[in-house]
Chain A
Amino acid sequence: AQSVAQPEDQVNVAEGNPLTVKCTYSVSGNPYLFWYVQYPNRGLQFLLKYITGDNLVKGSYGFEAEFNKSQTSFHLKKPSALVSDSALYFCAVRDPMNTGFQKLVFGTGTRLLVSP
């Protein structure tokens, strides 16, 4: 069964500095990987995804993520953090070997706090 680990409960970064939110995964085949962001009392907003192709994928709001198959990781990055980026970030994986169903499995989330 697929799984996702987000090893950091919280990441603190100063505005203007680069940020990284870590994610590792486990699936039986080549993964489909996603990042979502959640603001307080809101639903999840899609940021970006990796299906195939270039290992570096770009998404909304200046975020990008790098797929690393050997390390089974899909870390979320942004070159320059904004205070408004402060939110809860979820990594999710789908196992395409399970062709009958498209369940996303989520990590436990990482809270990003960007200080002014």
Chain B
Amino acid sequence: DTGVSQDPRHKITKRGQNVTFRCDPISEHNRLYWYRQTLGQGPEFLTYFQNEAQLEKSRLLSDRFSAERPKGSFSTLEIQRTEQGDSAMYLCASSLTGDGNTIYFGEGSWLTVV
């Protein structure tokens, strides 16, 4: 059973460019989460899917951010017109209903906007 997989692990982009991150959750996990972590801080919730439905979005998720999980399996997080303030690690996590509420995280995708 593989863990949560994220790609790319690192991305450097110029301000104003669009970037997309992909997350493959643990197989059969029906819940998928995106978090953002900046240096010296704990992860902050961005959004949550149950199967393909996006059920919750944080206020942190501005209009430039969009997340999808079209078939209820992998998910993508796109950031349009990146800003330097978007520089952070983007963490994907997944869980299975009834698994004692344990959420498992991937290795994260580092974004640096220059």
Contacts and interface: CB of A to CB of B under 8 A. Distances in A.
Contacts of A51: 100-101
Nearest to A48: B102
A32 B100 CA distance: 9
A108 B101 contact: no
B40 interface: yes
Contact of B95 (A4, A43, A102, A108): A102
B105 A108 contact: no
A74 interface: no
Contact of A46 (B6, B48, B104): B104
B53 interface: no
Nearest to A101: B56
A34 B43 CA distance: 13
A90 B41 CA distance: 10
Interface string B67-100: 0000000000000000000000001010100001
24 contacts: A32-B101, A34-B102, A34-B103, A41-B110, A42-B108, A43-B105, A43-B107, A44-B43, A44-B93, A44-B105, A46-B103, A46-B104, A49-B100, A49-B101, A51-B100, A90-B43, A100-B55, A101-B55, A103-B48, A106-B43, A106-B44, A108-B41, A108-B42, A109-B42
4 closest cross-chain pairs (CB), A and B: A106-B42, A44-B105, A43-B107, A43-B105
Interface of B: 4, 6, 31, 40-45, 48, 55-56, 91, 93, 95, 100-108, 110
Interface of A: 4, 32, 34, 36, 41-46, 49, 51, 90, 92, 94, 100-109
